[in-house]
Amino acid sequence: MAVPDPQISAQPVIRQLDDAAINRIAAGEVLERPASAVKELVENAIDAGATRIEVAIADGGKTLIRVTDDGCGIAAEDLPLALSRHATSKIDGSDLLNIHSFGFRGEALPSLGAVGRLTITSRVPPASAACITVAGGGAGKVAPAALNSGTVVELRDMFYATPARLKFLRTDRAEAQAIGDVVKRLAMAEPFVTFILRDTSNGDQRTTFRADAETGDMFDALHGRLRTVLGRDFAENALAIDTERDGFHLTGYAALPTYSRGAAIAQFLFVNGRPVRDKMLLGALRAAYMDVLSRDRHPVAALFVDCDPTLVDVNVHPAKSEVRFRDPGTVRGLIVSGLRHALANAGHRASTTVAGATLGAMQPEQTQPRVYQMDRPSFSARSMTFQAQAPTPIPGFADAPSARFEPAPTDDARLPDAGQPLGAARAQVHENYIIAQTETGVVIVDQHAAHERLVYEKLKAQMAESGVAAQALLIPEIVELSDEDRATLLAASEDLGKMGLTIEPFGGNAIAVRETPAILGEINAEMLLKDILDELSDQGDSTQLGLRIDAILSRVSCHGSIRSGRRMQADEMNALLREMEATPKSGQCNHGRPTYVELKLSDIERLFGRT
């Protein structure tokens, strides 16, 4: 129990806070850490039309943050006004929904000046450059300065005016990493702008990130920028996304399921070019991949949602990292359907990193020094040596349980399927792996995993065509819920009915479960409803029922597929390869693991030192 402070009078007095206190309070909302300051300043530079933005930091941004741009600049007479709260050039205040810029609240610069030592130097040609300094909320006078063009904003000793905030910052390395993440996200949003991040700690000047302006159309520029930020592997294994629905346009790139991560650290979402961390959008991304990834793997994607600004409210939080859509269901459906369509169109494709990991696992023995052509024996001498060293045929070897080989053809005419993407089957080893020959290399197929995906896709297609069969309960199960939960479930009853789950109101706050999906067998209806409620509350939509049905189909397909240990004839193996080529998502099994590995002949030759 709180003890009354004797220094506080019985009657509290209402007083007006001064501007310095107001700015420090506002800074607590806008400026969480140095990365927040970098975000606000770089966004201002982008809004100013900059084509080159350079960020310099020291000690994780605690002692120095300097942002230099070549934008339109700030006129000398406007510099004092720029340091006033809620003074901005982005909007006129008449419409807070029609926002076309990153910044619009007019809080960043005064907040920075309230907690640190801020200097702004800017020039608007043909006028001369000018600068203004503010420390701890106290602004100086405008003074002449030297600058060719654009603006330089320098913040030193962040939080010196509020030292308590310094205790909550992390290490210099962690803060610098957070700044790098902010710069990279903004670089993805603006591929036609050059971004440079330098660390000047301890008197050194290291360039920790650089992304030069891209050229070409928007998709080519974005692909090039993502290659710079996320790496070549992502660029090579990403699918282009371009789809529209009801005024919303979704673009970007999403990686193949076999190129996934163990944590959700490579998911980048943008709304009208603004980087956001929206729970609903992340849930939609996860739902789109739920059929091709296991629960412990996470997709990699950079997705951009563009729409009329009046359809989304970005004025939800001072940091502007959260948004609110007028019709969230449409956006979620667009992301889920767009990604699933792209994954289906990818067909049997698997990520190139699978082959890279396979080659990396192969450790060739130390090769002998290179033998030059003049040191090689003649063709006739080699032929005689090979004949003398030829192994004696072993009776019954062809019937050995570990491998079944097709006879080697004398010409290409005997391998008509070699030109197909997955090639022509040549052997089955360990009665589980099919070895196929392509025009450029070798493909190794896990026959059980591949056939499991094929059967699973067939079962899903059949269910989509004939619907989900429901079984009526002999005695309806009555579930007591709160008034709010009851209303939430009844609002979704039509969608649940399409999945075979029929519910009805049963007086008071109770719900009667009349039918359940037949494929699930005997279930605990109360637990199922609570799982669905949790997801409806979290995301506004539920995939729990669909997930359970898909899990049953996956289990059925696993038991109904070609088992490991079964010998297959050449025509069966080739038929499996052709069906994989024609089936969507056959590049990975139901759990997200690759169904095949492709090794290029050049990579195999490199293993043996033949290059």
pLDDT band of 124, cuts 50, 70, 90: very high
Q: What is the pLDDT of residue 118?
A: 93
* Most confidently modeled range among 310-314, 365-369, 607-611: 310-314
Tell me if 454 sits within 8 A of 586, measured CB to CB.
Answer: yes
Q: 570-582 and 447-466 helices cross at what angle (nearest 10)?
A: 50
Name the least confident of 10-14, 439-443, 566-570. Answer: 10-14
CA 351: distance to chain centroid?
Answer: 16
pLDDT tops 90 at residue 350: no
> CB-side exposure of 383: number of CA atoms within 13 Å?
3
Place of tokens 């990365």: 35
What span, in angstroms and rounded, lies between the C-alpha atoms of 240 and 226?
A: 12
For residue 610, CA distances in Å to 352, 368, 500 come to 22, 11, 60
Task: Report the DSSP pairing between strands 424-429 and 433-437.
Answer: antiparallel
Percent residues over pLDDT 90 in the chain: 38
pLDDT at 377 over 70: no
Binning pLDDT at 50, 70 and 90, where does residue 232 land?
A: very high
Top mean pLDDT of 7-11, 87-91, 244-248 is at: 244-248
Mean local confidence (pLDDT), 142-152: 94
pLDDT at 343 over 60: yes
Please state, in angstroms and rounded to a whole number, the distance separating the CA atoms of residues 21 and 145: 30
| Across 284-288, average pLDDT | 90
CATH topology for the 218-346 domain: Ribosomal Protein S5; domain 2 (3.30.230)
Is a pLDDT exceeding 60 seen at residue 411? no
Q: Name the one residue in this structure whose structure tokens are 């420090």.
A: 24
* Average pLDDT score over residue span 354-360: 71
Q: Is 42 left (phi over 0), alpha (psi -120 to 50) or beta?
A: alpha
| Ordered strands of the 424-429 beta sheet | 403-405, 424-429, 433-437, 441-446, 596-600
CATH number for the domain formed by residue range(s) 19-92+99-211: 3.30.565.10
The full length of the chain comes to 611
pLDDT computed for residue 145 by the predictor? 94
223 vs 462 pLDDT, higher one: 223
Q: How are beta strands 52-58 and 194-199 bridged, if at all?
A: parallel
Beta bridge partners of 207: 198
Going by their DSSP bridges, the two strands 301-306 and 248-255 should be labelled as: antiparallel
pLDDT of residue 20: 67
More confidently predicted of 40 and 103: 40
Q: Does the pLDDT at position 509 exceed 70?
A: yes
Comparing 355 with 161, the larger pLDDT belongs to 161
Q: Which two tokens stand for residue 518?
A: 């037949």
- Tokens 């049997």 label which residue? 348
Range with the largest mean pLDDT of 180-194, 253-267, 414-428, 473-487: 180-194
Residue 542 has pLDDT above 60, yes or no: yes
Residue range(s) in the chain whose domain bears CATH number 3.30.230.10: 218-346
287-303, pLDDT tens digit by residue?
899 888 877 889 999 99
pLDDT computed for residue 417 by the predictor = 72
Residue 167 has pLDDT above 90, yes or no: no
Beta-sheet pairing, 510-517 with 502-505: antiparallel
425: left (phi over 0), alpha (psi -120 to 50) or beta: beta
Does residue 452 contact residue 557 with C-beta atoms inside 8 Å?
A: yes
pLDDT (average), residues 403-431: 70
Whether 410 has a pLDDT exceeding 50, the answer reads no
Looking at the chain, the domain(s) classified CATH 3.30.565.10 span 19-92+99-211
SS (H, E, C) 310-373: HHEECCCCCCCCCCEECCHHHHHHHHHHHHHHHHHHCCCCCCHHHHHHHHHHCCCCCCCCCCCH
The confidence score (pLDDT) of residue 394 equals 47
CA 268-67-128 angle, 5° bins: 140
Q: How far apart are CA 180 and CA 57, in angstroms?
A: 10
pLDDT band at 386 (very low <50, low <70, confident <90, very high): very low
Does residue 413 have a pLDDT over 60?
Answer: no
505 pairs with which residues across the strands? 511
pLDDT grade for 65, boundaries at 50, 70 and 90 = very high
Contact 217, 234 (CB under 8 A): no
Would you place residue 576 in the very low, low, confident or very high pLDDT band (cuts 50, 70, 90)?
Answer: very high
Q: Is the pTM of this model over 0.85?
A: no
Average of per-residue pLDDT values in the chain = 82
Least confident interval from 170-174, 317-321, 353-357, 475-479: 317-321
∠407-411-413 over CA atoms, to 5°? 95
pLDDT at 235 over 70: yes
Q: How far apart are CA 271 and CA 186, in angstroms?
A: 12
To the nearest 10°, the Cα dihedral for 183, 185, 190, 196?
20
Q: Name the residue with higher pLDDT: 110 or 407.
A: 110
Of 540, 476, 470, give the one whose Cα is nearest residue 504.
476
How confident is the model at residue 61, as a pLDDT?
95
Q: Is the pLDDT of residue 416 over 80?
A: no
Q: Please indicate whether residue 296 or residue 87 has the higher confidence score (pLDDT).
A: 296
Kindly state the average pLDDT of the residues 423-451.
Answer: 91
Q: Which residue has the tokens 């009776």?
A: 395
- Name the more confident of 20 and 601: 601
| pLDDT (mean) for 425-435 | 91
Average pLDDT over every residue of 501-526: 86
Torsion angles phi and psi, residue 375, rounded to 5: -95, -5
Q: Report which of residues 181 and 540 the model is more confident about.
A: 181
Which residues, 6 or more positions from 325, have their beta carbon under 8 angstroms from its beta carbon? 280, 311, 312, 313, 331
Residue 173, both tokens: 């390395």
Between CA 241 and CA 219 the distance in angstroms is 10
Q: CATH 3.30.1370.100 in the chain: give the residue spans.
A: 348-364+394-611
Q: Is 87 helix (H, G, I), strand (E, B) or coil?
A: coil
pLDDT value of position 401: 52
d(CA 277, CA 335): 15
| Collapsed DSSP state (helix, strand, coil) of residue 196 | strand
| pLDDT value of residue 565 | 77
Assess whether pLDDT exceeds 80 at residue 335.
yes
H/E run at residue 91: none
Q: Which residue has the higher pLDDT, 575 or 8?
A: 575
CATH of the structural domain 348-364+394-611, one choice from 3.40.50.300, 3.30.450.20, 3.30.1370.100, 3.30.1490.20: 3.30.1370.100
State how far the Cα of 27 lies from the Cα of 600, in Å rounded to an integer: 56
